[in-house]
Amino acid sequence: MNTNKKPIAIIAGIIAAIALIAFIATTIYHHRKIDTLDGFWETRGREHYVAYVHGDTIDIFWFEDSKESYIARWTPGYRISGHFTPPQPGFNHYEFDLTYDYNRSGAPATETSDAGTATQSTAWSATEEISFQTDPMNIRFEYKDGKIIRYYDLGETDVFYPGGTDHLQAEMQAGIYDMQHEISQLAIPLELGTITELPLADGSEGNLLFVEVTNPNIFRINDPSLVLYDQAADTATPVGECTFGCYIDAAYHAVLVTTNRSGHTASAGSSELLYSEYHIDVSNFRDESPVKATASDLRQGTMDVNVHTDLFTEPQVYKIAVVFYRGDQIVGGGYDYFTLDRPDMTIPVPILTELTDYDDYDIFIY
């Protein structure tokens, strides 16, 4: 008789009992009832997703190497935001659809207006629907066995496990989205003023276009454009568009300058301002450009403008325009782009119109 088998059998029994207890504990844990999905849930792997569930909103961020990196633009599979109906307290299984929020899933600090769909400025307002995608999209999720599962159309899944740590940057970013959205509801149209066109000095086709604009909002307007309409037509059909390639800061009055090569003359009665997006920076509602013109010198065909900023951090592209007046009338001007790569620079701005007589001028940096 081999007495050495008894200790082995006892050890095996203990191991089996421990495994059984662990299985029962895991089963109880996975099937226990919880009251909310709020908190952080994570997939596993070096490149992984973190879902931040708060209230009726889920924000999913993409992470790499444990460093929180956010995808700046709307990209399927990277950053997702949406809304769902939260379960009632006391559940251990729940299936739900997340309704995709196109604005919230877009660029941080960006809301988009419906002006991108050729809506005239008189009807422009903030909207929940991003202009290039208005159809609702639902993403299927399920909570079971203590995990949240995201289902894809082709049968693939992402499994989110309860997060072991808080992600403060994700939580802060979600709070910024909420604040931006609330502020965006206050958006009102730009105010269109006088429109002036002058021939180009080099005799080339087109005119230099000057558009007086006021931004009454407490946030920046990006990429305004002037859409031209044929007044003689029976319907308001756009016949041309002039883009300005700049932004307008909060509470800022400016004259936008660009070249009109559309073949159609702009006037206040046949033009409308459209905007591709408005930029809400909750950390800095500045009412003027951080770059200032400190001095200028007009020589033949060029205005040399000295510019300065106290807020230089990294190179950034700006547009600069010079507008000349005789009395209240615009009589000439020019514009160019420059890269601000140091706090003080001298920018040669080409004067693109004939300039014979003026008594004042303005410099706009945007």
What is the predicted pLDDT for the residue at 103?
Answer: 64
Nearest C-alpha neighbor of 52 from the set 157, 182, 205, 175: 175
What is the predicted pLDDT for the residue at 116?
Answer: 33
What is the predicted pLDDT for the residue at 328?
Answer: 93
Q: For the chain, which ranges sit under pLDDT 70?
A: 1-31, 46-47, 63-79, 102-136, 164-165, 180, 184, 231-236, 268-269, 275-289
What is the predicted pLDDT for the residue at 9?
Answer: 64
Q: What is the dihedral of CA 214, 287, 176, 247, to 10 degrees?
A: 50
Q: How far is CA 311 from CA 100, 169, 177, in A?
A: 37, 24, 25
The span from the CA of 350 to the CA of 357, in Å, is: 17
The span from the CA of 211 to the CA of 268, in Å, is: 9
Residue given tokens 């999905």 in the structure block: 37
pTM above 0.75, yes or no: no
What is the predicted pLDDT for the residue at 65?
Answer: 53
- Joined together, the tokens standing for residue 117 give 């769909």
* Rg (alpha carbons) of the chain, rounded to whole number: 30
The conformational region for residue 235 under phi > 0 = left, psi -120 to 50 = alpha, else beta, is: beta
Q: 329 forms bridges with which residues in the sheet?
A: 326
What is the predicted pLDDT for the residue at 48?
Answer: 76
Domain ranges of the chain: 39-184, 191-365
Q: How far is CA 322 from CA 17, 142, 296, 299, 303, in A?
A: 84, 59, 10, 13, 8
What is the predicted pLDDT for the residue at 294?
Answer: 85
